[in-house]
Amino acid sequence: MLRTIRAFLWMRWRISRNAFKTRQRDSLEQISRALGALAPVFMLLMLVPTVLALAAGGVFLGWKMGQAETVMIWRSFGFLALRGGLAVATITVLIAPMVRSSRGTGSETTRLLLLPIRRGMLHASEVIAALSDPWLGVLFPALVMFPIGIAIGGSVLGGAVSLLGALLFVAILMLAVSLASFFIALIFRKRKRAERFTAVLIVVLSMSGLLFALVGDEWEEGLEKKRDAKRFGVDAAEQAAEDDPDLTLSQHVDQQLPFGVRFLPSEAFMRVVEAAVDGHVAQLGLNLLLLGTWTTLLYVSSRWAYWRLLETPETGGVEGNLGAGFRTRSLPGVRPAVAAVAFATMRLALRTVRGKTAVYLNFVITAMIYVILIRELSKVELPSGLSFGLGIGFAGGFFTLISLQPIMANVFAIDSNGFTLQLLSPLSTSEILHGKVVGSALLVAISTALCFGIGFVLDAKGSPVVWLAGFLILVAMFLVYAPMTLLLSAVFPKVADLSRMGKDGNPQPIAGFVAFIAVPLLLIPPALTAAATLMIAKSGLLTLAGALVWLGVAMAIYIVGMRALCVLFERRRENLLLVATGR
Amino acid sequence: MSLALQTRGLTRHFGDLTAVDAVDLAVPAGSFYGFLGPNGAGKSTTIKCLTGLLRPSEGEIRILDLDPLADPVGVKKMIGVLPEDLALFDRLTAAETLGFVGQIHGLSRETLEQRAEELLTLMELNRRKDSLVTDFSHGMKKKLALAVALLPAPKLLFLDEPFEGIDAVASRQIRNLLKSYVSRGGTIFLTSHILQIVETLCDQIGVIQHGRLIAQGSMEEMRRGTEDGRTLEQIFLELVGAEAEASAALDWLT
Ligand SMILES: Nc1ncnc2c1ncn2[C@@H]1O[C@H](COP(=O)(O)OP(=O)(O)OP(=O)(O)O)[C@@H](O)[C@H]1O
Ligand SMILES: [Mg+2]
């Protein structure tokens, strides 16, 4: 058992250490990898003060609450802070696996499965690894320091019992986050299922938005009423607290919440602390039992999910007929070889979860935002020539550029072995690069066309000249953005799997970040011109002229940029190949 | 005798390691060249240098009378490659993969469809031609990669371990196909660890060890000077010095 743990820790350490052994790679690649590795370290450094502050806050709160003669206000404040904080923490921790790469799924796990290690051990190590989750990592010290504070405050026994409660609560969070990530990994094991899951997620998101908008009025009224009730409730609670000093404020707030809430782990933990400080043995026992039950339940189910995960191979879930046959497609004005590369890039994107969300989600979200805001927007006076429909289309195009960043900012490495095929084919460098740009352009075009379409349907007002100008500004932005992202892809390639949510599918952090902030920056100059011409000169034609000027500038940048990129690509091709094929 | 492929002093370093060390290859046009060597000898690295995936550290290459470093696209139009990592897009179907390659090589639609159908039938992939490559087994991927290499009807084929992982039926069909390709004037440069197959197919042999070419010539030349009836395996083991044979009995392994 101990031997296994030692071997396990050693292996993890060696793997992370060897990641830096890139002596045989060119220096640019070494820098790229170092920067990629530094990004999380940087994040961690920023987290340290947070952790320290939270831990200190925990001690302080505990200390205040542990003192026998603590003033009412401190007790109330302490418990409220605890409850709110813990509830928020629980939710965040559960959402985290969605945006993080799934654990327990790598080829490393396959290797481990072949060795004589008990599955229970593997499961335990995966659960403990949940502590490396930043959210949990931040929370853990604060949770542990809090009971210590109580002990320092004078109530040693209370502190000890609270510590037990805190440890159980942390265990529950760890198990819950593991269960969630195993579950998501299980869903993503089958590509088809992953896609369906994502589609459902998108639909649910948009439906909830629509519902929100449709029932908005009633909802708002209801909220008002509730708010009144709450205010009344709190007043009553304060009143009652004054009447009955044995009850805390939070106990009264409690009475306003549904009964089921008290079964939540965070609430149970809070009650343990409360009972420990106050010496209510029955409440203490009951809530510790509740925490224990949660731990057991989550342990059993996360173990079940993990074992299922180990037994489920990663499959595409044999696809039906995709039916494209040998049909090759051509694009007007584009060389066949360039079109071939472009369509391969587009298909790759449209057949992965990340690509699908990037292309289709914008359209859904844009429409949703519009529907939600429609009542507020109708009060706004727009400069003549503009319309909300154009705004929707333009915003859609803008967000498309941002959301395509996992594809565009890593456009070579995401092909993995397909990249080798392109290098083996009789393609010139310029054909490969233009193929990539055209492929991205197709993706942007699909998404933007959907957004412009829905914008036009919802509100087709405004002058056609300005609509055209809006579209041209997007084209100009793309013409600068495309070579920029190619540059990032060439300098910072990273193995990425677009069928994964979270970091496994993301581009190299620096590339992703630069691509992300580039889009709003690229918007500034044409947007300023458009604003000036529309609001001051009040001329749609001038707006169009401004857009055309920017289009010209963008074209010049594109042509020069692509020339330079061809040279750069030639220098980087060997390294790109090694990264794409996973070396 | 004209040479389809010739190198002079071909060298490739990886950091301190010299994976390919001053190799002088001479592959006659219309020959079936077997490139042999132990694991890690530098066979795949050589193929990658010849096909333009890796830049040679030193040396000259001539492929079909062209310099691939000066005219890479021209050379790539005439060669077909089955590389070590197969080089397929995971998210294209088998049919789309062939369509991609056909379009880049400028095949007409009819030619493409006819050739692709024939190749897929031969590789027994026809029923799965609309499945994504990522759902294929390893052997199926290799057969598809081979089809990709053959589709543009190249004059020179580079095949890195084409028979490893292929079932017996397909292996036999592929062997027949390759034989008739050579008899019609094509040239094949092949690596394989299955020496029985190499022996029946190849007429030229090159042996590489630790990055150095330690023997090269026709099959007859290789056999010459040795007693009659020796198999290629015996010759190969002798050339690379079968050190492993004598050493380490591993007698703890029951
Ligand atoms: N990208 C790389 N970086 C560093 N070293 C490499 C790289 N590729 C190959 N090598 C090294 O070059 C040497 C030759 O490798 P190569 O793949 O050419 O061998 P091979 O003859 O094809 O072997 P096998 O029969 O196992 O396929 C090996 O020592 C290998 O470790
Ligand atoms: Mg090899």
> How do B58-63 and B3-14 pair as beta strands?
antiparallel
- Ligand 1 atom closest to the CA of B47, numbered from 1: 18
Q: How far apart are CA B88 and CA A554, in angstroms?
A: 35
Q: How many CB contacts within 8 angstroms connect chain A with chain B? A: 128
Rounded to 5°, the CA angle A11-A16-A18 comes to: 90
Check: CB of residue A480 under 8 Å from CB of residue A554.
yes
pLDDT above 70: percentage of residues in chain A: 79
Which residue's alpha carbon is at the smallest distance from atom 3 of ligand 1?
A: B14
Check: CB of residue B173 under 8 Å from CB of residue B31.
no
Q: Enter the tokens of residue A436.
A: 């990539």
Mean pLDDT of B157-164: 94
Rounded to 5°, the CA angle A192-A102-A134 comes to: 145
DSSP conformation letters of A536-566: IS--HHHHHHHHHHHHHHHHHHHHHHHHHHH
Q: For A114, how many CA atoms within 13 A lie in the half-sphere containing its CB?
A: 4
Higher pLDDT, A100 or A447: A447
Q: Enter the tokens of residue A325.
A: 């046959």
Chain A positions in Cβ-Cβ contact with residue B102 (cut-off 8 Å): 326, 328
The response to whether residue A583 sits with its C-beta less than 6 Å from ligand 1 reads: yes
Proximal ligand: closest to the CA of A23: 1
DSSP conformation letters of A184-250: HHHHHHBHHHHHHHHHHHHHHHHHHHHHHHHTHHHHHHHHHHHHHHHHHHHHHHHHHHHH-TTS-HH
For A63-91, b where at least 16 C-beta lie within 10 A, e where not — what string? Answer: bbbbbeebeeeebbbbbeebbebbbebbe
Q: Enter the tokens of residue A159.
A: 């502190």
Contact flag B90-A417 (C-beta cutoff 8 Å): yes
What is the residue type of B219? M
Which residue's alpha carbon is at the smallest distance from atom 4 of ligand 1?
A: B14
What is the residue type of A143? L
Instruction: Kindly state the DSSP code that residue B19 receives in the 8-state scheme.
Output: E
**Centroid of ligand 1 to alpha carbon of B117 (angstroms):** 35
Contact flag A324-B93 (C-beta cutoff 8 Å): yes
Q: How far apart are CA A264 and CA A173, in angstroms?
A: 12
Q: 3-state SS of chain A: helix, strand, coil percent to 5?
A: 80, 0, 20
Check: CB of residue B35 under 8 Å from CB of residue B59.
no
pLDDT at A60 over 50: yes
Q: How far apart are CA B199 and CA B218, in angstroms?
A: 11
Q: Would B216 be classed as within a structural domain? A: yes
Q: How far apart are CA A247 and CA A55, in angstroms?
A: 28
CB nearest A324 (choices: B55, B77, B95): B95
Q: Which of B44, B161, B164 to mutate to test the pocket of ligand 1 (most atoms within 8 A of CB)?
A: B44
pLDDT, residue A87, reads: 78
What domain count does chain B have?
Answer: 1
Mean pLDDT of B150-166: 94
pLDDT at A168 over 70: yes
Q: How far apart are CA B159 and CA B59, in angstroms?
A: 22
Chain B positions in Cβ-Cβ contact with residue A418 (cut-off 8 Å): 87-92
CB nearest B132 (choices: A316, A415, A417): A316
> If you measure CA to CA, which chain A residue comes closest to B116?
A326
Q: What is the pLDDT of residues A444-455, one digit of tens each?
A: 999 999 999 988
Check: CB of residue B156 under 8 Å from CB of residue B189.
yes
pLDDT, residue A104, reads: 46
Q: What is the pLDDT of residues A352-405, one digit of tens each?
A: 878 888 888 777 777 777 777 776 777 777 777 788 888 888 988 998 999 899
pLDDT at A506 over 70: yes
**Centroid of ligand 1 to alpha carbon of A173 (angstroms):** 46
> How do B204-209 and B32-36 pair as beta strands?
parallel
Residue A440 CB: number of other CB atoms within 10 A? 24
Q: How far apart are CA A52 and CA A58, in angstroms?
A: 10
pLDDT, residue B202, reads: 94
pLDDT, residue B56, reads: 94
> If you measure CA to CA, which chain A residue comes closest to B68?
A426
Contact flag B76-A416 (C-beta cutoff 8 Å): no
What band does A569 get if pLDDT is binned at 50, 70 and 90? very high
Residues 6+ apart with CB under 8 A from B224: none
Q: Would B101 be classed as within a structural domain? A: no
pLDDT, residue B61, reads: 95
Q: What value does the CA radius of gyration of chain B take, rounded to a whole number of Å?
A: 19
> If you measure CA to CA, which chain B residue comes closest to A576?
B53
Q: Enter the tokens of residue A426.
A: 């009789």
- Ligand 1 atom closest to the CA of B38, numbered from 1: 25
pLDDT at A508 over 70: yes
Query: At CB < 8 A and 24+ separation, what contacts does A38-47 make?
Result: A39/A509, A39/A510, A40/A509, A43/A134, A44/A134, A47/A134, A47/A137, A47/A138
For A117, list phi and psi in degrees, rounded to 5.
-120, 135
Q: Which of residues 413-472 of A touch B (CB under 8 A)?
A: 415-418, 420-421, 423-428
Higher pLDDT, B178 or A10: B178
CB nearest A418 (choices: B52, B90, B130): B90
> How do B79-82 and B156-160 pair as beta strands?
parallel
SS3 of A460, please?
A: coil
Q: Would B178 be classed as within a structural domain? A: no
Which range of A63-72, A120-129, A498-507 scores highest in mean pLDDT? It is A120-129
Answer whether B112 touches A (CB < 8 Å).
yes
Answer whether A262 touches B (CB < 8 Å).
no
Q: Enter the tokens of residue B240.
A: 């690379």
pLDDT, residue B81, reads: 95
Contact flag B148-A316 (C-beta cutoff 8 Å): no
The response to whether residue B19 sits with its C-beta less than 6 Å from ligand 1 reads: yes
Residue with tokens 């510790």: A288
For B180-197, b where at least 16 C-beta lie within 10 A, e where not — what string? Answer: ebbeeebbbbbbbeebeb
Q: Tell which of A30, A314, A326 to mutate to test the B interface (max B CBs under 10 Å).
A: A326
Which range of A24-38, A302-316, A568-582 scores highest in mean pLDDT? It is A568-582
Check: CB of residue A456 under 8 Å from CB of residue A531.
no
DSSP conformation letters of B74-101: HHHHHEEEE-TT----TTSBHHHHHHHH
Q: What is the pLDDT of residues B93-107, one digit of tens each?
A: 999 999 999 999 999
pLDDT at A37 over 50: yes
Chain B positions in Cβ-Cβ contact with residue A347 (cut-off 8 Å): 89, 91-92, 96
Instruction: Kindly state the DSSP code that residue A334 receives in the 8-state scheme.
Output: S
Mean pLDDT of B245-249: 63
Domain hosting residue B23, numbered range: 1-78+156-166+191-241
- Ligand 1 atom closest to the CA of B15, numbered from 1: 4
Residue B78 CB: number of other CB atoms within 10 A? 17
Contact flag B86-A417 (C-beta cutoff 8 Å): yes
Q: Which of A323-337, B58-72, B109-123 has the lowest mean pLDDT?
A: A323-337
Alpha-carbon distances of B218 from A190, B213, B226, B232, rounded to whole Å: 51, 14, 14, 12
Q: What is the pLDDT of residues B38-93, one digit of tens each?
A: 999 999 999 999 999 999 999 999 999 999 999 999 999 999 999 998 999 988 99
- Please name every residue paired with B12 in a beta bridge, in sequence order, or none if there are none: B20
Residue with tokens 């005219």: B71
Helix (H) or strand (E) segment spanning residue A515: helix A509-531
Residue B230 CB: number of other CB atoms within 10 A? 12
Q: What is the pLDDT of residues B163-188, one digit of tens each?
A: 998 999 889 989 999 999 999 999 99
Contact flag B92-A344 (C-beta cutoff 8 Å): yes
> If you measure CA to CA, which chain B residue comes closest to A22?
B15
CB nearest B89 (choices: A319, A324, A344): A344
Q: How many distinct helices (H) and strands (E) make up chain A?
A: 21, 0
The response to whether residue B12 sits with its C-beta less than 6 Å from ligand 1 reads: no
Which residue's alpha carbon is at the smallest distance from atom 7 of ligand 1?
A: B14
The CA distance from A416 to the nearest CA of chain B, in Å, is 7
pLDDT at A216 over 50: yes
Nearest CA among B16, B32, B24, B89 for reference residue B50: B24
The response to whether residue B16 sits with its C-beta less than 6 Å from ligand 1 reads: no
Q: How far apart are CA B28 and CA B189, in angstroms?
A: 10
- Ligand 1 atom closest to the CA of B84, numbered from 1: 27
What band does A139 get if pLDDT is binned at 50, 70 and 90? confident
Q: What is the CATH number of the domain that holds B205?
A: 3.40.50.300
Interface confidence (ipTM) of the complex = 0.92
> If you measure CA to CA, which chain B residue comes closest to A580?
B87
What band does B158 get if pLDDT is binned at 50, 70 and 90? very high
Helix (H) or strand (E) segment spanning residue B14: strand B3-14
Chain B positions in Cβ-Cβ contact with residue A348 (cut-off 8 Å): 89-92
What is the residue type of A317? G
pLDDT, residue A504, reads: 75
Chain B positions in Cβ-Cβ contact with residue A423 (cut-off 8 Å): 52-53
pLDDT, residue B75, reads: 95
> If you measure CA to CA, which chain A residue comes closest to B111?
A326
pLDDT above 90: percentage of residues in chain B: 72
Q: Which of A94-98, A461-465, B173-177 has the lowest mean pLDDT?
A: A94-98
Residue with tokens 């489920």: A312
For A218, list phi and psi in degrees, rounded to 5.
-60, -40
The CA distance from A550 to the nearest CA of chain B, in Å, is 34
Q: Tell which of A25, A327, A425 to mutate to test the B interface (max B CBs under 10 Å).
A: A425
The CA distance from A230 to the nearest CA of chain B, in Å, is 54
Q: Would B22 be classed as within a structural domain? A: yes
Check: CB of residue A470 under 8 Å from CB of residue A551.
no
Chain B positions in Cβ-Cβ contact with residue A23 (cut-off 8 Å): 15
Q: Which of residues 192-221 of B touch A (CB under 8 A)?
A: none
Higher pLDDT, A367 or A71: A367
pLDDT, residue A253, reads: 64
pLDDT at A245 over 70: no
The response to whether residue B93 sits with its C-beta less than 6 Å from ligand 1 reads: no
**Centroid of ligand 1 to alpha carbon of A504 (angstroms):** 27
The CA distance from B1 to the nearest CA of chain A, in Å, is 28
CB nearest A426 (choices: B14, B77, B113): B77
The response to whether residue B41 sits with its C-beta less than 6 Å from ligand 1 reads: yes
Residue A40 CB: number of other CB atoms within 10 A? 12
Chain A positions in Cβ-Cβ contact with residue B51 (cut-off 8 Å): 424
Contact flag A328-B116 (C-beta cutoff 8 Å): no
Helix (H) or strand (E) segment spanning residue B73: helix B72-78
pLDDT at B254 over 80: no
pLDDT, residue A248, reads: 55
Q: Enter the tokens of residue A116.
A: 């004589």
Q: How far apart are CA A508 and CA A514, in angstroms?
A: 10
Q: Would B10 be classed as within a structural domain? A: yes
* Burial class (CB within 10 angstroms; exposed 0-12, middle 13-18, buried 19+) of A116: exposed
CB nearest A425 (choices: B74, B104, B109): B104
pLDDT at A312 over 70: yes
Nearest CA among A531, A525, A555 for reference residue A543: A531
CB nearest B106 (choices: A318, A336, A351): A336
Q: How far apart are CA B80 and CA B154, in angstroms?
A: 5
Check: CB of residue A456 under 8 Å from CB of residue A372.
no
